[in-house]
A and B are shown apart, each in its own frame.
Chain A
Amino acid sequence: MSTALFNSFESGMIYAIMALGVYLTFRILDFPDLTVEGSFVTGASVAAIMIVNGYSPIIATFCAMLAGFIAGAITGLLHTKGKINPLLAGILIMIALYSINLRIMGASNIPLLSQTTIITKIQDAFAGTGLDNMLNGLLSIVGLGGSLPKTWSILIVMLIVAVIIQMTMSAFLKTEIGLALRATGDNEAMVNSFSAHTGNMKVLGLGIGNALVAFSGSLVAQYNGFSDIGMGIGIIVIGLASVIIGEALFGAKTIARATLAVIGGAIIYRIVVTLALRVEFLDTGDVKLITALIVIGALIIPKISDKQKEKSRKKKRLKEIQLRHGGTLSKGGEGYASVKTDL
Chain B
Amino acid sequence: MLRLKQIYKVFNEGTPDEKLALGNLELQMTKGEFVTVIGSNGAGKSTLMNMISGKILPDAGEVFINGENVSAIEEHARAKMIGRVFQDPMLGTAPHMTIEENMAIAYGRTNRRGLGFGVTKKRKELFKESLNTLHLGLENRMTAKVGLLSGGERQALSLLMATFTDPKILLLDEHTAALDPSRAELVTNLTKEIVEKNRLTTLMVTHNMQQAIDLGNSLIMMDKGQIIFEARGAEKQKLTVEKLLNEFQRIKGEKMINDRAVLI
Contact = CB atoms under 8 A, between A and B. Distances in A.
Interface of A: 172, 174-180, 182-183, 186-187, 189-198
Given A174-B117, A176-B104, A179-B104, A192 B76 contact: yes
A127 B60 CA distance: 73
A194 B108 contact: yes
A175 B119 CA distance: 8
Given A182-B94, A187-B91, A196 B114 contact: no
Contacts of B77: 195
B148 interface: no
B119 A195 contact: no
Nearest to A198: B76
B117 A190 contact: no
Nearest to A199: B76
A191 B92 CA distance: 9
Nearest to B55: A192
A177 B118 CA distance: 8
B93 A192 contact: no
The 9 closest A-B CB pairs, nearest first, are A195-B79, A186-B94, A176-B113, A179-B118, A183-B94, A194-B109, A187-B94, A195-B109, A193-B84
Given A192-B75, A193-B53, A196-B76, A174 B105 contact: no
A65 B119 CA distance: 30
Contact of A180 (B53, B75, B91, B105): B105
A187 B76 contact: no
A179 B76 CA distance: 16
15 contacts: A176-B115, A179-B104, A182-B101, A186-B97, A187-B90, A187-B91, A187-B94, A187-B95, A191-B94, A193-B84, A193-B86, A194-B79, A194-B108, A195-B79, A195-B110
Contacts of B102: 183
Contact of B93 (A179, A182, A187): A187
Interface of B: 53, 55, 75-77, 79-80, 82, 84, 86, 90-97, 101-102, 104-106, 108-110, 113-119, 161-162
A230 to B, nearest CB: 37
A180 B104 CA distance: 9
B96 A186 contact: yes
A195 B105 CA distance: 9
B240 to A, nearest CB: 34
A339 to B, nearest CB: 21
A182 B104 CA distance: 12
Q: Is the interface of A mostly helix, strand, loop or mixed?
A: helix
Given A190-B93, A193-B53, A195-B108, A180 B76 contact: no
Given A187-B91, A192-B75, A182 B97 contact: yes
Nearest to A194: B109
**Which of A178, A179, A194 has the most chain B CB within a 10 Å cutoff?**
A194
B76 A175 contact: no
A29 B76 CA distance: 18
A186 B102 CA distance: 11
Nearest to B83: A193
Given A187-B91, A192-B75, 17 more contacts: A174-B118, A175-B114, A175-B117, A175-B118, A176-B104, A176-B114, A187-B90, A190-B91, A190-B105, A192-B76, A193-B53, A193-B82, A193-B162, A194-B161, A195-B77, A196-B113, A197-B76
A132 B115 CA distance: 39
A189 B82 CA distance: 14
A219 B86 CA distance: 47
Given A186-B94, A196-B76, A179 B115 contact: no
Contact of B105 (A172, A183, A189): A183
A193 B79 contact: yes
A179 B105 contact: yes
A193 B77 CA distance: 9
Nearest to A191: B105
Contact of B108 (A174, A180, A186, A189): A180
B16 to A, nearest CB: 25
Given A174-B119, A189-B86, A196-B113, A179 B91 contact: no
B118 A178 contact: yes
A182 B145 CA distance: 13
A186 B117 CA distance: 19
A198 B109 CA distance: 13
B79 A192 contact: yes
**Which of A183, A189, A195 has the most chain B CB within a 10 Å cutoff?**
A195
Contact of B114 (A177, A190, A192, A193): A177
**Which of B53, B86, B109, B118 has the most chain A CB within a 10 Å cutoff?**
B118
A83 B82 CA distance: 26
Given A186-B95, A192-B76, A195-B76, A179 B101 contact: yes
A192 B106 CA distance: 11
A176 B97 CA distance: 13
A189 B91 contact: yes
**Which of B53, B97, B119 has the most chain A CB within a 10 Å cutoff?**
B97
A191 B161 CA distance: 12
Contact of A190 (B75, B80, B92, B104): B92
A196 to B, nearest CB: 6
A32 B106 CA distance: 27
A189 B55 CA distance: 10
A183 B97 contact: yes
